[in-house]
């Protein structure tokens, strides 16, 4: 049999479902938004069917066995009982009336398949394996689900809304095609995808009036997470594959760099400790300059751009120059390292708060509110704290924390080279000086560290 895809308007059409089990339920639910009028014939039905019937008027349940009948008033019949002879009889009856037939059994041949659907309303992607393998169909659906942005729904809607305006502005099909292609490639479409519909509407309106999309450059400030590429967000990955130029620093891991568009230009801007490859002002200027040249610029940062990431400074200059931008959060080192080390940052018995602190040394000292930090029922997470560890531990003890408060140092968290050094406030400084510890390192201090022994699960290579 050759199955050909079609999208049908099924509203107000009659659909008969024979059977009330799991398969009938699945089929009913996949058609629930079609607007069809359903009749279900089955002695018993599942709870889902019952609750669906409660919420909608367009469904009648006949609690009986199917008996042979004229089916011509139905547009579609779904044969899904668990009785082979009933299914066979129903198929014969249906064939007499020449209606659409869907079956749950291979032995009973229908002429309609109900596809697996990826929905980005009004866009629908229907998948079928022609009955070969529902499992493979599900795998394909899952892959599509995470590769097609949810924002495509809004994108399709705005294109539909402006379709006739564009049609009357540009008389030639070719002109319209170029206009819409430029639109999809422009900052306006990124605005739609990131939810700025009002602004996008206004810009599109203006560009239609002017007769062309103003395809200016833009900046994506993206957090790449702590290192494991699987911790990237869908949006981060999409923008990584879109950018013309990538400005990245030391914390972005190699497997993540490998996911960038192959032909994009990559600019390294540091920063090794005390060796800022490029001063911050120059990075800010570079972003502005590249975007003004019309480039799609990806500023890729380790972790989250708004946590010890200077993300705020970088976008300030973009605002000054009216350059479109968006910010994509990433998993910060504290979240990534704590999960991969099996150290929860809060716990009902041990810690009611967690504080992210910078342990960066300035002129050999650290200026922090030690009184506030030296508190037993909270977790302290020190970023950039390894070189200041001695001072940090000393100050915390001096301000009242028990010197046996557990502490962990996690290096290269979430990557195959992750290492964890365990100690307490008293021993951590010597653990650091006695080992060759490779950056980046994160320090977690507090009683939650004790849980590592029980909760550890991640096995680095
Ligand atoms: N914006 C980043 C932090 C930048 S500050 C974020 O949200 O994670 C740099 C510090 O982050 C490093 O000195 C280290 O303390 C910490 N860090 C980042 N990635 C790390 C990793 N994979 N393992 C351990 N620490 C990490």
271 catalytic? Reply is yes
pLDDT (0 to 100) of residue 277: 74
244 catalytic? Reply is no
Query: Tens place of pLDDT for every residue, the chain, 461 residues?
Result: 889 999 999 999 999 999 999 999 999 999 999 999 999 999 999 999 999 999 989 999 999 999 999 999 999 999 999 999 999 999 999 999 999 999 987 667 899 999 999 999 999 999 999 888 989 999 999 999 989 999 999 999 999 999 999 999 999 999 999 999 999 999 999 999 999 999 999 999 999 999 999 888 999 999 999 999 999 999 999 999 999 999 999 999 999 999 999 999 999 998 655 555 789 999 999 999 999 999 999 999 999 999 999 898 899 999 999 999 999 999 999 999 999 999 999 999 999 999 999 999 888 889 999 999 999 999 999 999 999 999 999 999 999 999 999 999 999 999 999 999 999 999 999 999 999 999 999 999 999 999 999 999 999 98
Q: In the chain, what are the domains? A: 14-114 (3.40.50.720), 117-148 (3.30.160), 152-210 (1.10.8), 218-331 (3.40.1010.10), 334-455 (3.30.950.10)
pTM of structure: 0.85
Q: Residue 227: CB within 6 Å of ligand 1?
A: yes
Distance 414 CA to ligand 1 centre (A): 11
Measuring from atom 3 of ligand 1, which residue has the nearest CA?
Answer: 308
Which of these is catalytic: 32, 88, 271, 450?
A: 271
pLDDT (0 to 100) of residue 276: 58
Distance 333 CA to ligand 1 centre (A): 5
- What is the rounded distance in angstroms from the CA atom of residue 132 to the CA atom of residue 137? 9
Distance 142 CA to ligand 1 centre (A): 32
Closest ligand 1 atom, residue 384 Cα? 13
- What are the two backbone dihedrals, phi and then psi, of residue 102, each rounded to the nearest 5 degrees? -120, 135
Task: Tell me the CB-side half-sphere exposure of residue 198, using CA atoms within 13 A.
Answer: 0
Question: What secondary structure, in 3-state letters, does the chain show?
Answer: CCCCCCCCCCCCCEEEEECCCHHHHHHHHHCCCCCCEEEEECCCCCHHHHHHHHHCCCEEEECCCCCCCCCCCCCEEEECCCCHHHHHHHHHHHHHHCCEEEECCCCCCCCCCCCEEEEECCEEEEECCCCCCHHHHHHHHHHHHHHCCCCHHHHHHHHHHHHHHHHHHCCCHHHHHHHHHHHHCCHHHHHHHCCCHHHHHHHHHHHHHHCCCCCCCEEEEEECECCCHHHCCHHHHHHHCCCCEEEECCCCCHHHHCCCCCCCEEEECCCECCECCCCHHHHHHHHHHHHHCCCEEEEEECECCCCCCCHHHHHHHHHHCCCCEEEECCCCHHHHHHHHHCCCCCECCCECEEEEEECCCECCECCCCHHHHCCCCEEEEEECCCCCHHHHHHHHHHCCCCCCCEEEEEECCCCCCCEEEEEECCCHHHHHHHCCCCCCEEEEECHHHHHHHHHCCCCCC
């Amino acid at each position: 049999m050759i199955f050909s895809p079609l999208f049908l308007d099924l509203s107000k059409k009659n659909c008969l479902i024979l059977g009330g089990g799991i398969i009938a339920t699945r089929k009913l639910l996949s058609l629930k938004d079609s607007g069809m009028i359903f009749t279900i014939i089955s002695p018993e039905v599942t709870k889902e069917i019952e609750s669906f019937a409660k919420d909608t008027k367009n469904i009648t349940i006949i609690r009986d066995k199917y008996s042979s009948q004229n089916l011509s008033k139905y547009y579609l019949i779904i044969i899904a009982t668990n009785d082979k002879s009933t299914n066979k009889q129903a198929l014969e009856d249906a064939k007499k009336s020449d209606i659409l037939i869907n079956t749950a059994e291979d032995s009973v041949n229908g002429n309609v398949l109900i596809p697996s659907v990826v929905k980005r309303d009004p866009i629908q992607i229907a998948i079928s394996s022609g009955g070969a393998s529902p499992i493979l169909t599900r795998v394909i659906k899952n892959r599509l689900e995470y590769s097609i942005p949810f924002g495509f729904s809004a994108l399709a809607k705005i294109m539909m809304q402006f379709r006739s305006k564009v049609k009357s502005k540009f008389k030639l099909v070719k002109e319209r095609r170029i206009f819409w292609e430029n639109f999809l490639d422009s900052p306006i479409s990124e605005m739609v995808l990131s939810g700025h519909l009002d602004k996008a509407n206004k810009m599109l309106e203006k560009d239609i009036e002017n007769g062309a999309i103003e395809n200016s450059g833009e900046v994506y400030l993206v957090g790449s997470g702590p290192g494991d590429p699987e911790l990237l967000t869908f949006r981060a990955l999409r923008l990584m594959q879109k950018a013309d130029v990538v400005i990245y620093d030391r914390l972005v891991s190699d497997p993540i760099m490998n996911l960038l568009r192959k032909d994009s230009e990559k600019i390294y801007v540091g920063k090794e400790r005390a060796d800022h490859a490029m001063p911050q002002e120059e990075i800010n200027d570079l972003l502005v300059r590249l975007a003004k040249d019309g480039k799609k610029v990806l500023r890729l940062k380790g972790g989250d751009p708004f946590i010890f990431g200077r993300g705020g400074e970088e976008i300030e200059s973009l605002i000054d120059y009216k350059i479109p931008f968006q910010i994509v959060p990433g998993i910060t080192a504290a979240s990534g390292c704590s999960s991969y080390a099996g150290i929860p940052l809060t716990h009902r018995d041990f810690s009611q708060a967690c504080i992210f602190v910078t342990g960066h040394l300035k002129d050999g000292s650290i200026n922090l509110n030690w009184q506030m930090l030296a508190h037993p029922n909270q977790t302290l997470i020190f970023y950039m704290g390894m070189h200041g560890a001695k001072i940090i531990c000393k100050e915390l003890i001096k301000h009242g924390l028990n010197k046996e408060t557990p502490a962990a140092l996690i290096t290269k968290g979430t990557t195959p080279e992750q290492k964890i050094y365990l100690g307490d406030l008293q021993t951590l400084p010597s653990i650091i000086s006695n080992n060759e510890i490779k950056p980046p390192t994160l320090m977690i201090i507090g009683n939650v560290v004790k849980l590592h022994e029980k909760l550890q699960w991640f096995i680095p290579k």
